[in-house]
Copies of this chain bind each other. A is one copy, B any other.
Amino acid sequence: MRRKPPVTAPHPRPERRAPRGRGRRRASRSTNAVTLADVAKIAGVSPITVSRVVNRPELVHADTVAQVQRVIARTGYVPNMLAGGLASRRSRLVAALVPTVVNSIFVDTIQSLTDTLWEARYQVVLGMTGYASHGSREEALVSAILSRRPDAVFVVGVNHSRDSRRRLLTAHVPVVEVWDLTTSPIDMVIGFSHEQVGAAVGDYLVGKGYRRIASVWADDERALRRRKGLLESLARHGLGEAGASLVPAPSTLRGGRQAFAALLDRGTDADAVVCSSDAFAHGVLAEAQVRGIAIPSRLAVLGFGDLEFAAETVPALSSVRIDRHGIGRLAAEALLARIEGKPAGPKVVDVGFQIIERETT
How would you classify the secondary structure of chain A's contact residues: helix, strand, loop or mixed? Answer: mixed
Which of A61, A82, A282, A283 has the most chain B CB atoms closer than 10 A to its own CB? Answer: A82
- Interface stretch, picked from A177-185, A224-232, A308-316, A349-357, is A308-316
User: Nearest Cβ in chain B — how far from A122, in angstroms?
Assistant: 10
Q: Which residue of B lies closest to A31 (CB)?
A: B89
Q: Is A37 an interface residue (CB 8 A)?
A: no
A32 to B64, CA, bound (A): 37
Q: Is A186 an interface residue (CB 8 A)?
A: no
| In contact, A76 and B170 (Cβ under 8 angstroms) | yes
Which of chain A's residues 251-268 have a Cβ closer than 8 Å to chain B? 252-254, 257
Q: Which residues of B contact A290 (CB under 8 A)?
A: 314
Q: Is A167 an interface residue (CB 8 A)?
A: yes
A174 to B308, CA, bound (A): 37
Q: Which residue of B lies closest to A5 (CB)?
A: B45
| In contact, B147 and A312 (Cβ under 8 angstroms) | no
Q: Is A1 an interface residue (CB 8 A)?
A: yes
Q: Which residues of B contact A76 (CB under 8 A)?
A: 166-167, 170
User: Nearest Cβ in chain B — how far from A209, in angstroms?
Assistant: 26
Q: Which residue of B lies closest to A166 (CB)?
A: B76
| In contact, B128 and A125 (Cβ under 8 angstroms) | no
A5 to B61, CA, bound (A): 12
- Interface stretch, picked from A101-109, A212-220, A236-244, A295-303, is A101-109
Contact of A2 among B61, B282, B341 (CB under 8 A): B61
Q: Which residue of B lies closest to A44 (CB)?
A: B5
User: Nearest Cβ in chain B — how far from A235, in angstroms?
Assistant: 34
| In contact, B81 and A149 (Cβ under 8 angstroms) | yes
Q: Is A12 an interface residue (CB 8 A)?
A: yes
18 A-B pairs with C-beta separation under 8 A: A1-B63, A2-B63, A5-B45, A76-B167, A76-B170, A78-B167, A79-B147, A81-B149, A82-B91, A82-B149, A104-B107, A114-B128, A123-B125, A123-B145, A126-B126, A286-B312, A286-B313, A286-B314
